[in-house]
Amino acid sequence: MIRGEPILKKPDNDSNQPLLNDDFIPQEENNQMKILHKHKGIFTSAILKETINLLPQFPDTRSTDEIKEYLRKNLHFSAENTRQRYSNYIVKRTFPYGYADSAIKRIAKAYPYGQALKDICFYRFIKAEILQFEIMIDLLIPQRGNGFIKRESIRDYLFQKYPKSKSITKGAQAIVDALGASNIVKVKNDRMNYGYRDINLISFAFILHSEFHKPNMYDFRNIESNNYMKALLWKENKKIPALYELRNLGLISKISEIDNMRQFTTKFYLDQVVTHIIEKGIKDENY
């Protein structure tokens, strides 16, 4: 077992049944998987497009060193030091929990190059690159009514946040590159067009079980208030119907209403839900 990998305890009851707890557990830090790789400053290379393209062929290993070696051999950049630097970036952003978990690799192999993988890679990206997350929350969401955002708005944001930085231009370009690679926005010259998006059930199930990774009962409001799920720019009025669809597919246990409070109960850990997604052959399409 790779050092740092969480030990997941199998429920005492049947694996197809939810692990229940009579107490409501709110979304707190100790209910989420710990992020070991976080970067809070300006980054000048996104490399998200390359990540999405190469991830379906990642070797079947939990060793991040083996993943880096694969990337150094397969990234298209000519300079060895560039491939080495970018391989480190990709590993830290794709596996922010500190080990090469199988969940994202298996999804990538089963659903290569589609929107589900783009959503999931972008989600892992914003978990690792705090600045990209802040751009989503501070800039894109408040300006969503315009239907677009100009590149200069991103540069202005970076300048206000890091007035002494010499990497504003490169940093702004890297942020745009990540947004474009994930298909969150449509990049057109000096601006990016975007709006709220329909939900992809595969990525929704993956991200839901990442944010609420312990099988248990949760309040609906935890989904509505979750900023990482907001950062995917999913339509707010589609989240609850998507949750019901996951229940219909057997990916979560149940949805209930207790004292006018709607709750949902999960029954799988992330790797388990990935197994069920693949076995059910859920299509990579928007809901």
Instruction: Summarize the confidence of residues 253-274 as an average pLDDT.
Output: 93
Q: Which of 68, 52, 63 is nearest to 111 (CA)?
A: 52
User: Would you state the pLDDT for residue 36?
Assistant: 77
If you average pLDDT over residues 140-145, what whole number do you get?
94
Res. 33 pLDDT band, cuts 50 70 90: low
β-strands 261-265, 186-188: how paired? Answer: unpaired
Query: Distance between CA 223 and CA 37 in Å, rounded?
Result: 24
pLDDT at 2 over 90: no
When computed from its CA atoms, the radius of gyration of the chain, rounded to whole angstroms, is 19
pLDDT at 14 over 60: no
Q: What percent of the chain has pLDDT over 70?
A: 89
- For the residues 158-172, what does the mean pLDDT come to? 97
**Residue 99 scores a pLDDT above 60:** yes
Question: What residue type is 184 in one-letter code?
Answer: I
* Residue 207 scores a pLDDT above 80: yes
Give the integer Cα–Cα distance in Å for 133 and 5: 25
pLDDT band at 47, cuts 50/70/90?
A: very high
Report the pLDDT value the prediction gives residue 32, as an integer from 0 to 100: 53
E strand residue ranges, the chain: 148-150, 186-188, 191-193, 217-219, 254-258, 261-265
Handedness of CA 67, 70, 72, 75 (dihedral sign): negative
Mean pLDDT, the chain, integer: 89
3-class secondary structure, 197: strand
Could you tell me the pTM of the whole model? 0.88
Exposed, middle or buried: residue 230 (CB in 10 Å: 0-12, 13-18, 19+)?
Answer: middle
Q: Is 148 helix (H, G, I), strand (E, B) or coil?
A: strand
Which range (29-33, 36-40, 180-184, 195-199) has the least confidence? 29-33
Q: Calculate the dihedral angle through the C-alpha atoms of 205, 75, 91, 192, rounding to the nearest 10 degrees.
A: -60
Report whether 34 contacts 97 (CB < 8 A): yes
Q: What is the mean pLDDT of residues 215-224?
A: 94
Question: Average pLDDT in the 235-256 region?
Answer: 95
- 24 and 259 in contact (C-beta within 8 Å)? no
Rounded to whole angstroms, the Cα distance separating 206 from 116 reads 9
Cβ partners under 8 Å of residue 7, min gap 6: 1
